[in-house]
Structure 1
């Protein structure tokens, strides 16, 4: 079920983000951003994200119930993000440096017009926070918490988000993970999950 939902999102996302990108939004005043340097940190940002995803999958694959909950949480997180993007149209911060995913840009035909109005809340930071919630034990969780903070700081330095977007992201990740528990455990268990 969650797999079909994620495939549906993958199908709908390009049109949705085209709509988000075409709308004008508000420019926010963010005093924190003025304190930070501006620099392209795309490579480091995605190295941290992809490395964290790999480590989290290594932890979750032998734990199918936690893996299922993580997939549900990611699906719910994307729905929450689409809702907040629709409700809060924003213009990107001044001095934005476009974020380039070195993997996706090379695997798929990258558009010449990057999406820069997908602001509230930070999907990169929320995904990292979700990874930290999905694992168990301090040995796994604390490094992911630190890396979540690092990714949040890097997207601020790159000016692809306001500080409000980054600060709200872990709260939405927690909400998605909490809701995923209610959804995932309501599904009939499959034999290979026991």
Structure 2
């Protein structure tokens, strides 16, 4: 683990919501982290070129950018960085992709600093997690399929609607009802 100028662990927060980003930054700074922030994939790449990070918190959806691309790029340049993907767009498909691309953990919003810090320290899997969960409803399965298609289309709604056989406005209405 590297340390920042003041001795704390280095952390990159990649979040496009300015209020949430500021809140996370302040909370981690109070805990002794040396925090850098980015609001886009381009800014995250620039930050990663300038500083080696111990930890990163990456939002899945960054405006028009995909947080998955940030995870991939960050993991390629800094493979020892513990990356946590934080998202309001949780799905099995994106969780699997995030882990395959180099994230150590995946958390659905709302998550707080305690949740994220716990994820930093639990980079290993937990074999005690129960495997007999509840059965998915048809609506949940539909939602996961829509989200998987969105990920495959890089969140291009028109292309996803075409692949799903839906009108673009129908897909947009479904997305408005249930945030990704």
- For the aligned pair, the TM-score class normalised by the smaller chain equals under 0.3
Q: Higher helix share goes to which structure?
A: 1
Instruction: State the TM-score, normalizing by the size of structure 1.
Output: 0.23
* Higher share in strand: 2
TM-score (norm. length: structure 2): 0.24
